[in-house]
Amino acid sequence: MKNTLVIFAHPYLEYSSSNVELIKFYEKKQHFTFRDLYEDYPDFHIAAFRERKRLTEYERIIFHFPLIWFGVPPLLKLWIDEVFDIKWLTDEEKNPMKKMEAFILITAGGKEESFTKEGTYGKTIEEMLTGFLLSLKITGMNVHEVMKVFEADTLTKKDMIHQKQKFLELLNN
């Protein structure tokens, strides 16, 4: 099993029963390290060097977060700004992300059809996350399909089990 770092970022976790339930998925997995950015950095002061060193211990990373105002949560954006190093683009030997697998699990309160060209927002979630996805790809990460959980606030227990199974299948492929 691959060593996996989970970077979780949810500024309002206490109001998200679906994310509370989804993160239980990681507790039962060996070789998974769960990091809650809002718990680790409530003051928004990222320990960039420590985070970069931590990255070298993993073969894959999961970014788990809710869609907030059509993008990533502010602390996740700051984490990327502080931790990712522009030198990684020219010095591959020092790039801890090169060839690392990246998985993204995103929750959204809206309906799936709202996140289409014809839908309410006129864009897909991937289009809304263009900058985030590009940041991962240019560091040399192998970015897998984005796992999206729509209508996250209204999921039943059965829906939640189904979502966890889908995510496990994605991780095992």
pTM, two decimal places: 0.92
Domains in the chain, number = 1
pLDDT of res. 133: 96
- In the prediction, which pLDDT does 169 show? 82
Distance, CA of 146 to CA of 170 (rounded, Å): 10
Q: What is the CATH number of the domain that holds 134?
A: 3.40.50.360
Asked if 61 contacts 103 with a C-beta cutoff of 8 angstroms, the reply is yes
Residue 84's closest CA among 149, 29, 138, 45? 138
Its domain, for residue 167, covers 4-172
pLDDT (tens digit, 9 = 90+) per residue, 108-144?
Answer: 999 999 999 999 999 999 999 999 999 999 888 999 9
| Residue 6 CB coordination number (10 Å) | 21
